[in-house]
Amino acid sequence: MKSRIHYTKPSITELEVSYATDAARNGWGERCYECIAKFEQLFRDHLDVKYAIATSSCTGAMHMGLAALDIGSGDEVILGDTNWIASAAPITYVGAKPVLVDVLPDTWCVDPAKVEAAITPNTKAIIAVHLYGNLCDMDALLAIGERHGIPVIEDAAEAVGSEWKGKRAGSIGAFGTFSFHGTKTLTTGEGGMFVTQDKRLYEKVLTLSNHGRAAGQTKQFWPDMTGFKYKMSNMQAAIGCAQMERIDELIAAKRRIFKYYEDGLNGLPLVMNPELSGTRNGYWMPTILVHEGVRFDREALLETFNSEEIDGRVFFWPLSMLPMFADQPEHHISYGLYKRAVNLPSYHDLTENEMLRVIACVRSQF
């Protein structure tokens, strides 16, 4: 009987187990924030940023960041149509409107030209989502932001290990957010991180993250504003500390897996995640995109995977196809990608034999 090949699962070793066990036994009272502070420091060092706040999710980190920028009712925030809902939902949490634009055909990330064309007097931010580890054109987006006085935010939920011209994804914009969900390259089970180089923004998010209680407030149980509760637990952070000690190994495993797939699928009428000049892709989710005009049935491939005990994952639908948004079929790239694309299994300890099974299934479709 063939073992099931899952599309993703975390890499958990005895190091993570020992750190979590120690936090469960000893991480209380005066030590209740010890692992959180250590995890934030390790992540700051890795990203080379000044400030980091561990959160319960990337969604929560984005919500607080948008609130700290004073984005609210009547405002607009631009992002790519090809995305997961978690990038758009926090915009609605602050009462603003997500403005969806088309993406680029090579990176599948937001098209800077479409971003600039969508700017109005109500535009208050641009969110650059680094999809599947692929990188947005940060130079172009930052230039647009500077011309119009609009902050560029990085949603780097999927981009641990990705770099833009020597800078790590998430460290470049006004602020960055990360996800440590169990599917991600680095995990704490659930969890996220807010990062920034801006002290004022950091202090505001820090206050918001603690129910609105400012760091210098001397009155007990005295909030200075209405805030949020998006804290990470000490035990989650303990796992994060162990993962950070292994971060280079975790990123290298993702790149090894991608390279094996890339070599094994060579010659087929498809492309995979790009690594453009001056960039480094963390390859969170290796993805195939079949060339336009080539006969391909995504559902047939997924059925083949299932029959061979392999998990496949569909490419993100355009957000504008979802019931909470208006259809925008004029987004020809976004509406043309999802039918031709599939994410491949990519957990860290995939064996060559397992990847050969995946490759054989893909090859059987052509």
CA distance 131 to 284: 9
Residue 178 pairs in a beta bridge with 193
Q: 199 burial class (0-12, 13-18, 19+ CB within 10 angstroms)?
A: exposed
Query: What pTM was estimated for this model as a whole?
Result: 0.96
**All structural domains of the chain:** 14-245 (3.40.640.10), 247-363 (3.90.1150.10)
CB 108 within 8 A of CB 78: no
For the chain, residues with pLDDT lower than 50 are: none
pLDDT tens digit sequence for 100-147: 999 999 999 999 999 999 999 999 999 999 999 999 999 999 999 999
CB 314 within 8 A of CB 192: no
Residue 343 pairs in a beta bridge with 287, 313
Q: What is the pLDDT of residue 344?
A: 98
Q: How many CB atoms lie within 10 A of CB 55?
A: 28
Q: What is the pLDDT of residue 181?
A: 97
Q: What is the pLDDT of residue 365?
A: 97
HSE-up (13 A, CA, CB side) for residue 254? 30
Q: What is the pLDDT of residue 217?
A: 86
Q: What is the pLDDT of residue 215?
A: 86
Residue 76 pairs in a beta bridge with 97, 123
